[in-house]
Structure 1
Amino acid sequence: VAGVLVGHPFDTVKVRLQVQSGDKPQYRGTLHCFQSIIRQESVLGLYKGLGSPLMGLTFINALVFGVQGNTLRALGRDSPRNQFLAGAAAGAIQCVICCPMELAKTRLQLQAAGAAREYRGALHCLAQIYRREGLRGVNRGLLSTLLRETPSFGVYFLAYDALTRGLGCEPGARLLVPKLLLAGGTAGILSWLSTYPVDVVKSRLQAD
């Protein structure tokens, strides 16, 4: 939950920058986007759509770690290849929750300040989309979400496992918490870098 609260403003800026027109961009860059949102919509504008990831967080975490652990056991040997495959399987399965959740989040993040609000919240957003477009509309961007999440989770679990082993993150080890934070942060960066172009495509599709 803390990670979502800290990261959501950056995610809002990311989505705004990803979907803006290349010909006449509204924002000149990350800092200008932050400043513009705060000036026009207040700090709360950075937290638009926050309810959606908060609602899905528990289900996604349970699904990811359950699928990853069971897949790794089914594959037998704990190897880098199997770590990647188990992570990729977890990433693919959780898309059934992640895709609608991110669709609602994206639509709410892009909802203009001062205009008549089309969506009152995440559930209302999904209900409105379903009423107009059916299940296909609720799952808009599913393929791009799969193409992002599957390799991204594979890279994350592979990198995290390799880093925790390399840093000596055994229980009781010296500086265990900083080492785990370094491993998790680095693995997260690598997983995002590996699939960021697909994330841009997904944001554009879900914004329409």
Structure 2
Amino acid sequence: MNAESSAESSRSSSSQEGNVGLSESLDSDSGKGKGKSTSNGNNGNGDTHPAIDFTAGVIAGAAGLVVGQPFDVVKVRYQTPQYAGRYTSTFGALGAIVKEEKVKGLFKGVTSPMAGIAFINGIVFTSYSFFMKLQLPADSQNEPSLGQIFLAGAGSGVVSSTLTSPIELIKIREQSAPPHVNTSTIGVVKHILRTDGLRGLFRGFGATAMRDLAYGPYFFTYEALLRLFKYMKTPPLPESSRRHEGHTLIDEAEMELSSGLSWPELMAAGGIAGVTAWLATFPLDVLKTRLQSAEWSTTPSTATAAAASASTSPSAILSKAKRPSLWTVGRDAVRQEGWRVMFAGLGPTLIR
């Protein structure tokens, strides 16, 4: 999931499109928009055109991103070692940030996920459809199994992480900067490129991809709850009401909206699915944040200092330096702070 910022907004925006079924941004949180578009934006059957659905999902995801950003800042601060022990509670942290950094401190790092939310949603929508088509015949109108939904969701999360990873790296660098340091998205990007090169933008990609497997449990839980709610109807919805005319996220979303389920049921399914997804991979999110916020020992300044003391060239130091691995970061974190560190920031994340 978020999201997390853009990934989570994606999760959210997709689900609310189905409820945004996809991220943070499925991303999201919680059909059929098929047919040709007419001048009024509807297709021939009176349904909303997919382009309008997608746009609505992006707008919903962006709104959710802005509302949840203060809690995301707190989450990242909890997960970043240099802020360990600084805040005693989520709302205490919000107050401290406002006191030290003004209200703008609550929105540090919002620029990069906001700029990327439409692209992430597009990747998730497209890849989910691709993975679903790999599992189902082209003309299938049967309801996909929960296992197929899980695999399509997990696959879409991994694919979207190619964009989510650099976006979150930039966001985390801004959010974890000391309170007195004013950062900008462009400034952070320039610094990363100058010190670590282009590959530096993809630091933590592996951890991000593994965390975003959470799209699988997200969609699985969301769909399972919707089917349970349908079954609990009196009488249960007939099988004919479950025929599918497509297997994209927009198709699924529009089916849900016309299935007879209420908005509270759709929102409850999206909320529970979001909590489930975060719990499934949250330790990976903690390690990802630590990996992306930590300074590598391969920056020019540290390399030059090491070269001077060891009478070696900076280039030799850079080539020999060992970048921290996910395993190393996790091992050191647990040794120094105990196993509870693996759930640092869970509170503000679930509130968000």
**TM-score w.r.t. length of structure 1:** 0.91
Q: Does 1:129 align with 2:164?
A: no
CA contact (8 A) 1:68 1:90 kept: yes
Q: Which amino acid aligns with 1:120?
A: S
User: Which structure has the greater CA radius of gyration?
Assistant: 2
* Residue matched to 1:25: 85
Correspondence 1:92 to 2:158? yes
Residue 160 of structure 1 corresponds to 222
Residue by residue over 1:13-67, the C-alpha shift from the partner in whole angstroms, topping out at 9 and shown as x without a partner, is 0000111358x62112322211110111112111000011101100111111111
2:287 counterpart residue number? 201
Paired residues, number = 202
| Structure-1 separation of matches of 2:184 and 2:76 | 19
Residue 168 of structure 2 is matched in structure 1 by: 102
> Which residue number in structure 1 is paired with residue 75 of structure 2?
14
Q: Which one-letter code corresponds to 1:82 in the other structure?
A: Q
Name the amino acid aligned to 2:216: G
Distance (Å, rounded) in 2 between the aligned partners of 1:183 and 1:28: 31
| Structure 2 equivalent of residue 81 of structure 1 | 147
Do the aligned partners of 2:80 and 2:176 also contact (CA within 8 Å) in 1?
no
Question: Residue 99 of structure 1 contacts residue 140 of structure 1 at CA under 8 Å; is this kept in 2?
Answer: yes
Equivalents in 2 of 1:61, 1:189: separation in Å?
20
Q: Percent identity?
A: 38
Structure number having the greater helix percentage: 1
CA drift at 1:111: 2.1
Residue type at the aligned position of 2:67:
V
CA distance in 2, matches of 1:10, 1:204: 17
1:186 aligns to 2:246 (yes or no): no
- CA distance in 2: counterparts of 1:172 and 1:88, whole angstroms: 25
Q: What is the Cα deviation at residue 191 of structure 1?
A: 0.3
Find the aligned partners of 1:4 and 1:38 in 2 and give their Cα distance: 19
Tell me how far apart the structure 2 counterparts of residues 59 and 167 of structure 1 sit (CA, whole Å): 32
Unaligned runs of 5+ in 2: 1-61, 137-141, 231-255, 295-352
- Which of 116, 140, 145 is the equivalent residue of 2:208? 145
Which one-letter code corresponds to 2:206 in the other structure?
L
The runs of at least 4 consecutive aligned structure 1 residues that moved more than 4 Å come to: none
User: What secondary structure, in the 3-state scheme, does the structure 1 residue paired with 2:119 have?
Assistant: helix
CA–CA separation in structure 2 for the residues paired with 1:110 and 1:154: 29
Q: Contact 2:207–2:288 at 8 Å: present in 1 too?
A: yes
Q: Matches of 1:113 and 1:194 in 2, distance apart? A: 32
Determine if the alignment matches structure 1 residue 40 to structure 2 residue 103. Answer: no
Partner of residue 49 from structure 1, selected from 105, 109, 131: 109
Unaligned runs of 5+ in 1: none
For 1:71, the equivalent position in structure 2 comes to 131
Once the 2 structures are TM-superposed, how far is the Cα of residue 165 of structure 1 from its aligned partner? 1.8
Counterpart contact for 2:221–2:273, Cα < 8 Å: yes
SS of 1:94's equivalent?
Answer: helix
- The question of whether the paired residues in 1 share the 8 Å contact of 2:116 and 2:167 is answered with yes
- Counterpart CA distance in 2 for 1:153 and 1:181 is 17
